[in-house]
């Protein structure tokens, strides 16, 4: 009954926001951040099996269905623009479904949360923001707001020494001990997921105008990543923090002052108890590096066993345990190679790499987005982030979507008496609007329209500031 009720909520939200899909898109991001996979049962009544997908995954699928019913041309246009990507990833999803069902590993929920729903969300994101600068900035601002809220909660968790929310649900995880656990994660499923979210969103801070806001967010994100005790996360967020200050549009003396404050804050952070946990992990990685080395050696010896067809999603955990490895393969690519086959893992991660390369070979559209995409692509290769149900895949594909989205030009002005705004329900230009745009002349004109200069549509320029916040 809970699942039916949640699907009803999703349907109502998706249909009432069909003209404003940005609202539904932000709602998906909020649900992914606010509800860990461990708490899925609280909203849907199911935690495993084909119907045990995360609430945000259901919301994504229902929203896309509503958009297909209301304005199919928008989604079809995005699909056509990325047809080879969609076909390749569709093939990967089909193979993953086949191998998982045939092997009976029980990874269907992981397939929905980590492969299918994130890919659908990628298409939805581009449908909403591609060619629309205000919406692109709105998604950026929503991500930064969610990052700030998550960081504040992580700080409060560290201060109180308690997870505060979802403790009963987290207690079902083998690695979580409420009495001894000291790596905080806000409302995510794992500290490394929070670390990845903050590392990916932190480059987007560079697009904000106010230097004080940039510095405050950078400091807050860095503190929260330190609390997660992620070594790679601390390195990444430290580099990003310096980069954001250097690339700020503030005057030189303000940037110099910001660097000094950043250095002072880093020194205070290292001297405080906040950095004790991650410092200890740098001093003693408790065998983590050795485990990764063993995993690479194992994969190098056995990769031909799953060259074309894998053993089904989640099978890599059992295979690693049977082979005597002390942990998982500790690399999302290696785990997908075992699960769905090396060839299809190359296709899946190769598609991600192609999007990253594409974002770096074109003019900047959203400041910090291509850096975010690169970080989102690299970090899952350092741990098993994409092989366990969490928000990791959503973070990855949202970052890739923002990196390849275009800001676009200003929308055409509507004709007199037309309330459509120059666009039909599918987001296409209404016939008759492809005409000259009238640029008003002097404000001192004697009558309305005096001094108007017709500008042909083909000669319009982009009026949006590519680095506006």
Instruction: Please tell me whether residues 336 and 424 are part of one structural domain.
Output: no
Can you tell me the distance from the alpha carbon of 295 to that of 312, in angstroms, rounded to the nearest whole number?
Answer: 18
8 A C-beta contact, residue 262 and residue 242: yes
Per-residue pLDDT tens over the stretch 254-280 = 889 989 998 898 888 877 777 777 877
Instruction: Please tell me whether residues 332 and 430 are part of one structural domain.
Output: no
Residue 296 vs residue 8, higher pLDDT: 8
Return the ∠ at Cα 294 (arms to 322 and 326), rounded to 5°.
45
Ramachandran class of 331: left when φ > 0, alpha when ψ lies in -120 to 50, beta otherwise: beta
Count of other CB atoms within 10 angstroms of residue 222: 23
H helix intervals, 104-201? 108-111, 117-129, 133-160, 167-170, 191-201
- Those residues with Cβ within 8 angstroms of residue 109's Cβ, 6 or more apart along the chain or in another chain: 48, 49, 50, 52, 53, 389
Instruction: Please tell me whether residues 395 and 420 are part of one structural domain.
Output: no
Instruction: Please tell me whether residues 336 and 432 are part of one structural domain.
Output: no
With 90 as the cut, is the pLDDT of residue 439 above it?
no
Strands (E), 318-439: 437-439
Can you tell me the distance from the alpha carbon of 2 to that of 41, in angstroms, rounded to the nearest whole number?
Answer: 9
pLDDT at residue number 415: 42
Q: Write down which residue in 379, 404, 429 finishes a domain.
A: 404
pTM reported for the whole predicted model: 0.85
Instruction: Please tell me whether residues 363 and 424 are part of one structural domain.
Output: no
Q: Write down which residue in 381, 404, 427 finishes a domain.
A: 404
| Structure token pair of residue 126 | 């581009």
With 60 as the cut, is the pLDDT of residue 382 above it?
yes
Q: How confident is the model at residue 16 (pLDDT cuts 50, 70, 90)?
A: very high
H or E stretch covering 453: strand 453-455
User: Is 300 among the domain residues?
Assistant: no
Instruction: Please tell me whether residues 258 and 362 are part of one structural domain.
Output: yes
Give the single-character DSSP code of 436: P
Instruction: Please tell me whether residues 327 and 441 are part of one structural domain.
Output: no
pLDDT at residue number 173: 87
* Average of per-residue pLDDT across 35-51: 90
Instruction: Please tell me whether residues 167 and 185 are part of one structural domain.
Output: yes
Instruction: Please tell me whether residues 9 and 147 are part of one structural domain.
Output: yes
pLDDT at residue number 286: 61
Strands (E), 255-363: none
Domain extent for 81? 2-294+310-404
Q: Write down which residue in 359, 382, 404 finishes a domain.
A: 404
Please state, rounded to an integer, the average pLDDT across all residues of the chain. Answer: 85
- Above pLDDT 90, what percent of the chain? 61
Q: How confident is the model at residue 144 (pLDDT cuts 50, 70, 90)?
A: very high
Can you tell me the distance from the alpha carbon of 144 to that of 10, in angstroms, rounded to the nearest whole number?
Answer: 24
Instruction: Please tell me whether residues 374 and 468 are part of one structural domain.
Output: no
With 50 as the cut, is the pLDDT of residue 285 above it?
yes
8 A C-beta contact, residue 212 and residue 411: no
User: Is 303 among the domain residues?
Assistant: no
Q: How confident is the model at residue 43 (pLDDT cuts 50, 70, 90)?
A: very high
pLDDT at residue number 185: 95
Q: Mean pLDDT highest for which of 239-243, 435-439, 462-466?
A: 239-243
Instruction: Please tell me the total count of domains within the chain.
Output: 2
Instruction: Please tell me whether residues 230 and 366 are part of one structural domain.
Output: yes
Least confident stretch, 272-276, 315-319, 369-373: 272-276
Q: Which of 379, 34, 386, 433 is nearest to 235 (CA)?
A: 379
With 90 as the cut, is the pLDDT of residue 113 above it?
yes
């Amino acid at each position: 009954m809970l699942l039916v009720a949640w699907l009803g909520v999703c349907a109502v939200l998706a249909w009432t926001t069909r003209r404003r899909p940005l609202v539904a898109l932000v709602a998906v991001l909020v649900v992914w951040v606010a509800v860990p996979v461990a708490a899925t049962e609280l909203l849907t009544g199911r935690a495993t099996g084909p119907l045990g997908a995360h609430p945000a995954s259901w919301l994504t699928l229902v929203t896309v269905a509503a958009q297909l019913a209301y304005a199919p041309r928008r989604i079809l246009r995005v699909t056509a623009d990325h047809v080879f990507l969609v076909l390749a990833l569709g093939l990967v999803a089909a193979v993953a479904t086949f191998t998982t069902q045939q092997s009976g590993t029980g990874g269907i929920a992981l397939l929905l949360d980590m492969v299918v729903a994130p890919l659908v969300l990628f298409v939805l994101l581009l449908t909403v923001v591609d060619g629309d600068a205000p919406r692109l900035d709105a998604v950026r601002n929503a991500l930064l707001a969610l990052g700030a809220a998550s960081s504040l909660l992580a700080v409060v968790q560290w201060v109180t020494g308690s997870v505060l929310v979802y403790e009963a649900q987290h207690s079902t995880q083998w690695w979580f001990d409420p009495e001894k656990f000291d790596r905080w994660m806000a409302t995510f499923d794992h500290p490394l997921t929070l670390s990845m979210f903050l590392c990916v969103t932190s480059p987007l801070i560079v697009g904000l105008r106010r230097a004080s806001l940039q510095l405050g967010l950078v400091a807050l994100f860095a503190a929260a990543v330190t609390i997660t005790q992620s070594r790679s996360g601390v390195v990444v967020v430290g580099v990003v923090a310096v980069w954001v200050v250097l690339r700020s549009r503030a005057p030189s003396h303000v940037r110099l002052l910001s660097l000094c404050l950043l250095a002072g804050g880093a020194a205070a952070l290292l001297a405080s108890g906040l950095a004790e946990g991650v410092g200890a992990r740098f001093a003693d990685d408790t065998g983590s590096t050795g485990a990764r080395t063993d995993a690479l050696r194992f994969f190098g010896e056995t990769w031909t066993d799953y060259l074309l067809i894998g053993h089904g999603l989640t099978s890599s955990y059992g295979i690693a345990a049977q082979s005597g490895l002390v942990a998982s393969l500790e690399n999302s690519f290696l785990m997908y190679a075992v699960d769905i086959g090396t060839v299809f893992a190359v296709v899946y991660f190769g598609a991600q790499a192609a999007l990253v390369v594409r974002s770096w070979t074109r003019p900047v559209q959203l400041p910090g987005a291509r850096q975010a995409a690169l970080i989102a692509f690299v970090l899952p290769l350092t741990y098993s982030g994409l092989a366990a149900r969490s928000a990791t895949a959503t973070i990855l594909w949202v970052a890739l979507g923002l990196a390849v989205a275009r800001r676009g030009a200003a929308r055409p002005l509507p004709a007199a008496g037309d309330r459509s705004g120059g666009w039909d329900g599918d987001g296409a230009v209404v016939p008759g609007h492809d005409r000259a745009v009238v640029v008003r002349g002097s404000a001192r004109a004697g009558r309305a329209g005096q001094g108007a200069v017709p500008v042909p549509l083909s000669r319009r320029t982009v009026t949006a500031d590519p680095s506006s916040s």
